[in-house]
């Protein structure tokens, strides 16, 4: 695998995670309690704990949020 | 079971577990550093950090992996399972320290991206003694990272137990990669028979205990032959053999069933806890609820539902008692279906 190919993969992964981080901040502020009722009134330490996972699995939560909204 | 999530649901046992863990890790670090300074005093502080963190992470990973089969072979080890999650996250932190320091020391000083350097600094994939072992460690660390960030119950619920379990079963792939990472990495440079013995011994212990527990389970299933059938009810046990507030696990018609005796009654539910697939029959009935021996998840014996306001549900089964013998219908009722408990008359 060439340097260019690895750099391209790293950029794609980086962009995906950046998009995930932006989504996760919005989701933690406005969407979490709608998607998972058990998360109502949870602390910021809990939200901080799930933040890295949201950055990775954000697409799943985006789809869940859209489903709840519709 | 959480109706409301918290960062960590602390209790006395978890605090005690973590204290013992911290104490053991502290001693591991001290022991390793002292031995290293005595026998190999020429290494830099960075190398010492890289090696110490690797030693602690690998030791913890081996320990984590033997807890499950040990508990299945001998229930006295069950308390070790209780807070394994904290062990796992701690292990990841040490693995991350090892990975980050290694990348900084060996890959960040050139003019290419350090991550790219992990893949391109050595491309001798056909060699054994000079195999690019860093790549194996890198992928193992990615798996451990995914496991660590999804270790909270929030993830178990939202990713679904099936996906979550699948993701966390990847620890075996990570372990294999790490064993190869060690064998093709440090052991190629530190040509010491003791290190090889430790690596092969720990791998043998993990594999051997898994095989032994699988063999025990297989042997147990083979003993589960119930032929006395009437109207699809099978005779599976006697009332006397189940102690009060305890359960008995049976395997019949591909159903893993737990029968519980409590308040002079009998009920049957699926034997697999919805949380992390713990064996419910090895738990007890506490305050009217079946309580999983692994993490304390609870279910009402008559309908397999977690007590309100929790949501988990198990399949239930119909029972009958005749002349002190327990009969079960292995056709599962839908999850959460109420089945009237059978009164024990004699």
CA torsion sign for B280, B284, B288, B292 is: negative
Which of A28-37, B96-105, B127-136, B202-211 bottoms out in mean pLDDT, i.e. has the lowest?
B127-136
Q: Are A39 and B154 inside 8 Å of each other by CB? A: yes
Q: Which CATH superfamily is domain B229-343 in?
A: Rieske [2Fe-2S] iron-sulphur domain (2.102.10.10)
Task: Spell out which chain B residues touch chain A, with contact meaning CB-CB distance below 8 angstroms.
Answer: 2-7, 112-113, 115-116, 119-120, 146, 149-150, 152, 154-155, 157-159
Nearest residue in A to B114, CA atom? A7
Q: What is the mean pLDDT of residues A12-22?
A: 97
pLDDT of B2 reads 46
Give yes or no for a contact between B10 and B83, defined as CB atoms under 8 angstroms apart: no
ipTM: 0.95
Whether A56 and chain B come into contact, CB under 8 Å, resolves to: yes
Domain count, chain A: 1
The confidence score (pLDDT) of residue B253 equals 83
% of chain B exceeding 70 in pLDDT: 96
- Tell me what pLDDT residue B26 has: 97
Smallest Cβ–Cβ distance between A10 and the set B113, B150, B157 belongs to B113
B112, B115, B152 ranked by CB distance to A50: nearest: B152
Of A49, A53, A56, the CB nearest to B7: A49
HSE on the CB side for B47, CA within 13 Å? Answer: 8
Quote the DSSP letter at residue B227. -
Q: pLDDT tens digits, residue range A22-61?
A: 999 999 999 999 999 888 888 899 999 999 999 999 999 9
The model's pTM:
0.82
Give the DSSP per-residue string, chain A: --HHHHHHHHHHHHHHHHHHHHHHHHIIIIIHHHH-GGGTT--HHHHHHHHHHHHHHHHHHHHHHHHHH-
pLDDT: is B312 or B104 the higher one?
B104
B309 pLDDT above the threshold of 70: no
């Amino acid at each position: 695998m060439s340097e260019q190919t690895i750099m391209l993969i790293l950029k794609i992964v980086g962009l995906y995670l950046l998009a995930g981080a932006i989504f996760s901040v919005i989701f933690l502020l406005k969407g979490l309690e709608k998607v998972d009722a058990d998360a109502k009134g949870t602390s910021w330490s809990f939200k901080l704990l799930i933040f890295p996972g949201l950055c990775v699995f954000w697409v799943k939560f985006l789809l869940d949020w859209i489903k709840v909204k519709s | 079971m959480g109706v409301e999530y918290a960062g960590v649901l602390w209790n006395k046992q978890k605090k005690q577990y973590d204290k013992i863990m911290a104490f053991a890790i502290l001693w591991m670090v001290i022991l390793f550093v002292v031995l290293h300074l005595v026998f190999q005093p020429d290494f830099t502080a960075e190398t010492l950090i890289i090696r110490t963190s690797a030693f602690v992470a690998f030791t913890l990973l081996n320990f984590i992996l033997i807890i499950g089969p040990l508990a299945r072979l001998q229930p006295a080890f069950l308390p070790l399972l209780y807070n394994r999650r904290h062990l796992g996250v701690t292990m990841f932190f040490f693995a991350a320290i090892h990975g980050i320091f290694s990348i900084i020391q060996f890959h960040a000083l050139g003019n290419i991206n350090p991550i790219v350097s992990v893949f391109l600094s050595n491309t001798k994939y056909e060699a054994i003694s000079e195999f690019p072992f860093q790549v194996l460690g890198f992928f193992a660390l990615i798996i451990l990272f995914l496991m660590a960030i999804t270790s909270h119950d929030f993830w178990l619920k939202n990713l679904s137990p099936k996906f979550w379990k699948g993701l966390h079963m990847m620890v075996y792939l990570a372990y294999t990669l790490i064993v190869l990472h060690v064998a093709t990495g440090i052991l190629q440079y530190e040509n010491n028979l003791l290190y090889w013995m430790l690596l092969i011994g720990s791998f043998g212990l993990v594999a051997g205990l898994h095989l032994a527990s699988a063999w025990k389970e297989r042997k147990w299933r083979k003993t589960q032959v119930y032929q006395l059938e009437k109207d699809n009810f099978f005779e599976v046990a006697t009332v006397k053999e189940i102690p009060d507030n305890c359960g008995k696990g049976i395997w019949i018609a591909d159903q893993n069933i737990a029968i519980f005796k409590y308040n002079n009654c009998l009920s049957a539910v699926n034997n697999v806890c919805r949380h992390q697939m713990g064996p419910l029959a090895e738990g007890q009935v506490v305050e009217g609820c079946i309580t999983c021996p692994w993490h304390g998840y609870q279910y009402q014996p008559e309908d397999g539902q977690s007590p309100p306001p929790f949501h988990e549900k198990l399949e239930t089964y119909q029972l009958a008692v005749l002349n002190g013998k327990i009969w079960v219908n292995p056709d599962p009722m839908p999850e959460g279906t109420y089945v009237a408990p059978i009164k024990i008359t004699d």
